[in-house]
Amino acid sequence: MPQTMHKKLQSILDNFSETDGTLTYFLKGADPFELAEILFRYNTEQKVEIFRSLPEEKRQTVLYETDEESRAKITELLGDSELADLLAEMPEDEAADILQEFEEDKTKELLEKMPEEEAGELKDLLQYEEETAGGLMVPNFNKAFPSDTAADVIHRIKTEKDKDAPPYFYITNAGGQLQGYFKLRDLFRTVPGKTVEEFKRKELPLAHLNDSCKKVAETMDNNHVSAVPVVDDDNIIRGVITFDDVIAAVMDLADDDIYKMVGTSSEPLKKKMLRKVRHRIPWLFATLVGGIASAMILNSFEPLMVKYAAVIFFIPFVIGLSGNIAIQGSTVLVRGLATGEVRPENLSSVIISEIGVGGLNGLIFGVVCGLLVAFLAEPVLHTTPLIGLTVGTGLVLSVWFASIMGSVMPVIFQKLDFDPAISASPMITIVNDVLGVFVYLATSMFLLGRFG
């Protein structure tokens, strides 16, 4: 368990001596994934000492799997040559992810210190965004030509060393264009003299270099495959994406979306207090601005509230209900846009549906609340029963506007090339508070001024 490991490791570090081999011995049997998970708990000096005491085969895993802040501290204190050697030994997609965290000059220096072959493969991967098919793919894959026999392929498998590739074989012509594939079991089920052309499978799912990882995940899920080839515009295979890379990327994106929806940064449990404060201040400041705007709206309706004080009692209820409905609609759109369930062809119907659901809920609660308030107006609130009509109508209109904002804002953000997730909670809450208060009080002033 990570917590148990942390206690043992902390005890060793508290009594650490360079001549004592306890730390090295402990780390030799430690799980690198668990270690990467708890590394953020230690200060910079301890992180570096832990990393340097790790067995060589565990350093790659810890460096890649740990949090970004710990990784930055470690790589900062490693020499360029040592870091370049470490990255050259890592899986290409993981090394490329780490290199993308550096400044351009630093990345260039590290690539120059790597062997030419590894550097070339990494340069190719670094052309693409991290969460695209090009950024996720690995350039190592099993290749075969149409004229190869089954015996040729089997011989190649036996003679190649350190080949780490999925059990799929991709058939290409001399120019590298993808023509089909076969699985490992197809190879062993056929006779040795048969050519690849005779037993290949033609229909295969594939991804384009610029496809998003979410689209790749959908392709894998729909076709029940554990790897997909990545091709360019000329149908030349450039690499392969495996399901574990896609799962890791999708989980990271999901985490980012969740944290954005509440207005904070990713990996909040692994960041220092001041850094977390700095990330959250912008949204809290926006909430402050929204609060001031709401206060100014309340001040402009002061005559109404002096004459009909009961109107004030229902402001929290109106804001709360309309806010919940707005967030429900926004969450449905954000999730649908992220998973691909909401597409251009069904976007308008989804928006209309969510506005309809929100509006109907508002109507139901508006009628119930309005009748209840009208019934209790004179005996409990000591005011005119007309307040029931005011509260009910104001609630219906506030909820209706909120459902429109909740359903439309994620789409607007996406059109403006912003992540729709950031509209789901902080922005909706701020806009809804200001708009909800205004709509409710404006409705109250109109009805009570006309009929009161």
Looking at domain 142-258, its CATH class is: alpha beta
Residues 209, 136: Cα–Cα separation, whole Å = 9
Rg (CA), the chain: 30
Residue type, 355: I
Q: CB under 8 Å to 289, separation ≥6 — which residues?
A: 430
Q: What is the DSSP letter of 377?
A: I
Helices 116-125, 80-89: axis angle to 10 degrees equals 80
pLDDT for position 83 = 87
Distance CA 452, CA 444 (A): 10
C-alpha distances out from residue 184 to 142, 179, 194, Å: 10, 17, 15
Residue of 101, 208, 193 lying closest to 152 (CA atoms): 193
Query: d(Cα 95, Cα 137) in Å, to the nearest integer?
Result: 12
Q: What was the pLDDT predicted at 264?
A: 55
Q: Which of 396, 404, 406 minimizes the C-alpha distance to 327? A: 406
- What is the fold of 2-130? MgtE N-terminal fold (1.25.60)
Name residues whose C-beta falls within 8 Å of residue 98's C-beta, 6 or more positions apart in sequence.
63, 64, 71, 75, 87, 90
Residue ranges covered by each domain of the chain: 2-130, 142-258, 272-451
- Report helix, strand or coil for 146: coil
User: How many CB atoms neighbour CB 345 within 10 A?
Assistant: 7
DSSP string, 346-379: THHHHHHHHHHHHHHHHHHHHHHHHHHHHHHIII
Q: Are 98 and 68 in contact (CB under 8 A)?
A: no
**What DSSP element (H or E) covers 93?**
helix 92-99
Q: Which positions ≥6 away from 167 have C-beta within 8 Å?
A: 142, 183, 184, 185
**Pair of tokens at residue 254:** 């999901």
Q: Which pLDDT score is estimated for 32?
A: 86
Architecture, CATH, for domain 272-451: Orthogonal Bundle (1.10)
Say how far apart CA 61 and CA 71 lie, in whole Å.
Answer: 11
Q: Tokens 């270099």 sit at which residue?
A: 209
Q: What is the pLDDT along the chain (452 residues), one digit of tens a residue?
A: 567 787 888 888 877 666 567 888 888 888 888 888 888 888 888 888 888 888 888 888 888 888 888 888 888 877 888 888 888 888 887 888 888 888 888 888 888 888 888 888 888 788 877 778 888 888 778 888 888 888 888 888 777 765 556 678 888 888 888 888 888 888 888 888 888 888 888 778 888 888 887 788 888 888 888 888 888 888 899 888 887 777 777 666 666 665 555 555 555 555 566 666 666 676 677 778 888 888 888 888 888 878 888 888 888 888 888 888 888 888 888 777 766 678 888 888 989 998 999 889 989 999 999 999 899 888 888 888 888 899 899 999 999 988 898 888 888 887 877 767 665 566 777 888 888 888 989 988 888 887 76
